[in-house]
Amino acid sequence: MSTPPKTLLITGISGFLGWHIYQATRASWTVYGTYQTRPVSFADANTLALDLTDCAALQQAFQEIRPDAVIHTAALSQPNACQTQPELSRQINVLASLNLASLCADAGIPFAFTSTDLVFDGHHAPYREADPVCPISLYGEQKAEAEAGILSRYPKAAVCRMPLMFGAAPTAPSFLQPFLQKLRDGEALRLFTDEFRTPISGRDAAKGLLMALDKVQGLVHLGGPERLSRYEFGLRMAAAFGLSPDLISPCKQADVPMPAPRPPDVSMDSSYAFSLGYAPGGVLEELRALA
């Protein structure tokens, strides 16, 4: 007699990362997913509207679903929006995350939290898990606060620092789609030469999170194998999709004022994750797969 599949709860299943995790788990788990602002319906998942900042509603949903594991991707993840909406973003990014961690700790089930490379100030890259956090934006501050609070409440949680992510998801496109559209429309695309990340595709991000859910307790970096500027990423994107790079021009962070400060280099050293079997593809390889 076969064992029934375990139940996975994905918060933010309508988001870019949530959708990729759903794609990676739909055949092997019973998937439940929460959404708030973007209603979704999937053939192989049970989706429900849930305000994660409503403690009573969250606890009730948790008791009804009885998950065997949770991957928490829901967040207000746009740094500029967090900078201009500090109270709302802290409710979502910090308080809801701590409540989820407590529920998972009480149930004794695996919990993976998606944090960010923006917990660092960008002046001492490449960053390893043991390096002290030093965020310069409210979004980074909130994620750093959530990291510490989660590990205090539930030391067995996997706190996964995610890099810049790209790919295609029908529910929530990444930054890649607007870039491609501009080039296809013959518009100029100005990209930073002084902002560095270690980007990965959405499908590799999902694989990394599932690996962490199974093997990691504490902090883990899920960056890619390459340190690239936005400008270098744009050139690889043009090559992968057969578009002319002539419309891509270099610029500096200082040329584009924004509400949230931007660190110059938050590239991550992900050697620990690599040693556990995490093996993200190169950017050009992943872009070609998308193309």
pLDDT digit string (tens) for 186-223? 999 999 999 999 999 999 999 999 999 999 999 999 99
Strands (E) in 133-285, as ranges, are 158-162, 165-166, 189-192, 196-197, 200-201, 218-221, 228-229, 248-251
What's the pLDDT tens digit per position in 242-254? 999 999 999 999 9
Q: If you average pLDDT over residues 223-245, what whole number do you get? A: 97
Q: Is the pLDDT of residue 97 over 90?
A: yes
pLDDT of residue 37: 83
* Rounded (5°) CA angle 31-201-165: 90
pLDDT of residue 2: 65
What's the pLDDT tens digit per position in 150-168? 999 999 999 999 999 999 9
Query: Residues for the chain: how many in total?
Result: 291
* Rounded (5°) CA angle 21-25-31: 90
* DSSP state, residue 257: -
Q: What proportion of the chain, given as a percentage, has pLDDT over 90?
A: 95
Return the domain boundaries, the chain.
7-165+200-221, 175-198+226-267+283-290
Give residue for tokens 């809801």.
96
Average per-residue pLDDT in the chain? Answer: 96
| CATH number assigned to the domain covering 7-165+200-221 | 3.40.50.720
Can you tell me whether residue 189 is helix, strand or coil? strand
Q: Is the pLDDT of residue 1 over 80?
A: no
Architecture of domain 175-198+226-267+283-290: Alpha-Beta Complex (3.90)
Q: How many CB atoms lie within 10 A of CB 159?
A: 26
Give residue for tokens 């429309």.
185
pLDDT of residue 19: 96
pLDDT of residue 50: 97
pLDDT of residue 173: 84
Q: Is the pLDDT of residue 100 over 80?
A: yes
d(CA 89, CA 66): 27
Residue 118, Cβ density class (10 Å: 0-12 exposed, 13-18 middle, ≥19 buried)? buried
